[in-house]
Amino acid sequence: MTIRMPEPDEAVLARRGEIVAALRAIVPSEGVIDDVDALCPYETDVPTADRPPPIVVVLPETTDQVSRILEWCGANGVKVVPCGSGTSLSGDALPLADAVLLGLSRMNRVLAVDHEDRVAVVQPGVTNLAMTRAVEGRGFYYVPGLSSQIACSIGGNIEENSGSAHCLKYSLTAGNVGCAVQIGGGTGVPVVHTVELVDWATGGLAPQALSHRERNNA
């Protein structure tokens, strides 16, 4: 069965040039993709769906750019679909023909690692495997090591609450992400996630951040 996508808003499609120009004013031009052929890799994350390419793909590198993109699109009635690595297979990252696809893959930096407390602060486009690579030298790993870990992103893992065999003992993504901050239009809140790390040898004690969160959730 093919998943049918909603009919696009022709009024928005007619503003394609204006939308692309506005995004180019925010993100340097190589981070804005509107060439028909170059849009193809972004057209679907599931084989049994319609494959409408988005109006444009925008690949911000900073929190400020994400904030300004969301602010402009919100103010101008343009839909935004976020996308990590597009591996979900579930149609969740499917673009809409009359939407902007916000690709977070260039926001791929591990900003801080605290080995003592076993937490790291990362941008959403960090891949699952890159998270473990960043800490394995000190004997740590990031628990939800998916089969797609070489490609999938922490942001996508959070949205899907993804898991792996390790999660039978240490919980799915939701149990390993201490704090996930998504920003709305115009806010200055950093786009970062705090992820917990586990000691290979022992599994380790519950880090303070986890205990604190559990207390807050109680």
Ligand X SMILES: Cc1cc2nc3c(=O)[nH]c(=O)nc-3n(C[C@H](O)[C@H](O)[C@H](O)COP(=O)(O)OP(=O)(O)OC[C@H]3O[C@@H](n4cnc5c(N)ncnc54)[C@H](O)[C@@H]3O)c2cc1C
Residues at the interface with ligand X (CB under 6 A): 45, 81-89, 92-93, 104, 124, 146-148, 152-153, 155-157, 159-160, 162-164, 182
Q: Which is nearer to ligand X, 169 or 215 (CB)?
A: 169
Q: Which is nearer to ligand X, 21 or 89 (CB)?
A: 89
Q: Which is nearer to ligand X, 162 or 194 (CB)?
A: 162
Q: Which residues make beta-bridge pairs with 119?
A: 114, 196
Is residue 118 left, alpha or beta, with left meaning phi > 0 and alpha meaning psi from -120 to 50? left
Residue 152 Cβ vs ligand X, minimum distance, rounded to whole Å:
4
Q: Which is nearer to ligand X, 168 or 218 (CB)?
A: 168
- Nearest residue to ligand X on Cβ basis: 156
Residue 198 Cβ vs ligand X, minimum distance, rounded to whole Å:
17
Q: Is 81 helix (H, G, I), strand (E, B) or coil?
A: strand
CA distance 42 to 149: 19
Q: Which is nearer to ligand X, 182 or 208 (CB)?
A: 182
CB 84 within 8 A of CB 93: yes
Which among 99, 134, 87, 133 is positioned nearest to 7, based on CA atoms? 99
Residue 218 Cβ vs ligand X, minimum distance, rounded to whole Å:
27
- Sign of CA pseudo-dihedral 49, 52, 55, 60: positive
Residue 215 Cβ vs ligand X, minimum distance, rounded to whole Å:
26
Residue 116 Cβ vs ligand X, minimum distance, rounded to whole Å:
27
